[in-house]
Amino acid sequence: MLDLTPKTVKERSALRVNPCKTCQPVGAMYAALGVKGCMPHSHGSQGCCSYHRTVLSRHFKEPAIASSSSFTEGASVFGGRSNISTAAKNIFDMYDPDIIAVHTTCLSETIGDDLGSYIMDMDIPEGKIVVHANTPSYVGSHINGFFNMMMGFMNYLTKKTGTNNGKTAVFPGWVNPGDIRELKRIAGLMNVPTTFFPDQSGVLDAPMTGKYDMYPEGGTTAEEIQGLGDSEGVIALGEIIGAEPAELLKKKWKTPYTLLPMPVGVTYTDQYVLALRRQSKTEVPAELEAERGRLVDLLLDSHQYTYQKNVAIFGDPDVVIGLTSFALEMGMTPKYVITGTPKGEFTRRIEALFAKYGVTGCTAKANADLFELHQWIKNEPVDLLIGSTYGKQIARSEDIPFLRAGFPVLDRYGGPLQPIVGYAGAIRLVEQITNVLLDRFDRDVSDEDFEIVL
């Protein structure tokens, strides 16, 4: 498995091998699925749409609905106006969504389809909505597609009436439904009325009822997106994924925002709780303080097994920043930290964490790939690898304990239902990290040191 990966590292500017990302339309599709009654629509070929749906369905173990403009050679030459107009009519007639959220693909972007004008000319049924976002696959990553689709919804729907709606908007970023539930629970304990946008909880973790519902009960409503301009403020989680949507809301509708790192671990969850406290102007409830105390106690209990362990972390930028911060809180050394998303801010954030905790000899890189990560590990091995399923070949090849976290996790079950954010999510992470290291210790230890109690 990957036996031919060489140890000699050569700088590559134009080639990615085993990329640490996927394309923009995947992110756009996931963002659209977080809106109630919404049908994501891929303006391109059927093959693109099928791939994007497959990635999401394999991660969430749920059907990811989406439709396609079904480009053929004719549309590729003459443009996709006819395709999208016919598609919109058929979708409303057959599937009856409240909203169609159109995102572009490589093909429609390359030929220059003007979706804004196409939508203006459509005969949209009364009470129905069509929005769009430009998401070229050859630029950025699925993270860019996610926040571009968020901004597409806001550009079409958000208004400012001048009457404060008394709610705080929370942009949770690219996280699992279980994470959104935990973030909502914390906001509820802090007595902060919120609008989460987008909100995939109740959509991609909808309960089994014995009856298929194309549009489950979850998701942010169109009315809630319209009301974002009247919010008291915005808490945008994820300094990479949340910055542009929050800035758009501030520029167009004068809504103030607080940009925070993804609340993974003690410090970053503290920041989220304190931001909510500023909104509610109330004290932090005893329940949250007790959760934090249990997390700190567990960190102390497990410290002897995690201290100075070298870890390599890869995946989506904001999740990786959060995991890196938490690894440092656990006394670990994040030897290699990469993301496939081309954002220089990622490297600056990680290097600031290295400086804060005084760790040296560590590497952070954006727009990187897993081939390069594997080469680094071949030269200087690590004790633990954390990231998506695509790291399993490296873990097997180099015989490294591996913890799956982030997106996508294709070969394990239950992850999307469980949080890694908040104090409760951090407790789960400590358990997983410590136990995977102890499993390796038990596997490798000599018979005389194979103990029942560690």
Same domain, yes or no: 125 and 259 = no
Query: Both tokens of residue 430?
Result: 């400590």
163 within some domain? no
For residue range 76-120, what is the model confidence (pLDDT) as tens digits? Answer: 777 788 999 999 999 999 999 999 999 999 989 888 889 999 999
Same domain, yes or no: 197 and 239 = yes
430 within some domain? yes
Cβ within 8 Å of residue 208, ≥6 positions away? none
For residue range 55-80, what is the model confidence (pLDDT) as tens digits? Answer: 999 999 999 999 999 988 877 777 78
344 within some domain? yes
Same domain, yes or no: 411 and 320 = yes
Give the whole-number percent of the chain exceeding pLDDT 70: 100
What confidence score (pLDDT) does residue 1 get?
60
The last residue of a domain, from among 230, 265, 280? 280
The last residue of a domain, from among 257, 280, 303? 280
For residue range 369-410, what is the model confidence (pLDDT) as tens digits? Answer: 999 999 999 999 999 999 999 999 999 999 999 999 999 999
Confidence class for position 265, pLDDT limits 50, 70, 90: very high
Look up the domain containing 151 and give its range: 24-157
Confidence class for position 2, pLDDT limits 50, 70, 90: confident
Which among 385, 414, 410 has a CA at the least distance from the CA of 320? 385
Same domain, yes or no: 90 and 226 = no
For residue range 226-246, what is the model confidence (pLDDT) as tens digits? Answer: 999 999 999 999 999 999 999
Query: How many domains does the chain fold into?
Result: 3
What average pLDDT does the segment 191-206 reach? 96
Same domain, yes or no: 313 and 412 = yes
Angle at alpha carbon of residue 320, lines to 225 and 257, rounded to 5° = 35
Asked if residue 312 has pLDDT above 80, the reply is yes
What confidence score (pLDDT) does residue 15 get?
87
Please state the pTM of the whole predicted model. Answer: 0.95
Same domain, yes or no: 312 and 438 = yes
Same domain, yes or no: 172 and 232 = yes
Give the dihedral sign, CA 329/293/263/311. Answer: positive
3-state SS, the chain, equals CCCCCCCCCCCCCCCCCCECCCCHHHHHHHHHHCECCEEEEEECCHHHHHHHHHHHHHHHCCCCCCEECCCCHHHHHHCCHHHHHHHHHHHHHHCCCCEEEEEECHHHHHHCCCHHHHHHCCCCCCCCEEEEECCCCCCCCHHHHHHHHHHHHHHHHCCCCCCCCCCEEEECCCCCHHHHHHHHHHHHHCCCCEEECCCCCCCCCCCCCCCCCCCCCCCECHHHHHHHHHCCEEEEECCCCCHHHHHHHHHHHCCCEEEECCCEHHHHHHHHHHHHHHHHCCCCCHHHHHHHHHHHHHHHHHHHHHCCCEEEEECCHHHHHHHHHHHHHCCCEEEEEECCCCCHHHHHHHHHHHHHHCCCCCEEECCCEHHHHHHHHHHCCCCEEEECHHHHHHHHHHCCCEEECCCCCCCCCCHHHCCCCHHHHHHHHHHHHHHHHHHHHHHHCCHHHCCCCC
Same domain, yes or no: 442 and 328 = yes
What confidence score (pLDDT) does residue 10 get?
87
Confidence class for position 454, pLDDT limits 50, 70, 90: confident
Whether residue 222 contacts residue 98, with contact meaning beta carbons closer than 8 Å, is answered with yes
CATH code of the domain covering residue 113: 3.40.50.1980
442 within some domain? yes
1 within some domain? no
Confidence class for position 12, pLDDT limits 50, 70, 90: confident
Same domain, yes or no: 71 and 181 = no
122 within some domain? yes
Asked if residue 437 has pLDDT above 90, the reply is yes
126 within some domain? yes
Same domain, yes or no: 311 and 427 = yes
Same domain, yes or no: 293 and 329 = yes
Same domain, yes or no: 50 and 183 = no
370 within some domain? yes
The last residue of a domain, from among 280, 297, 318? 280
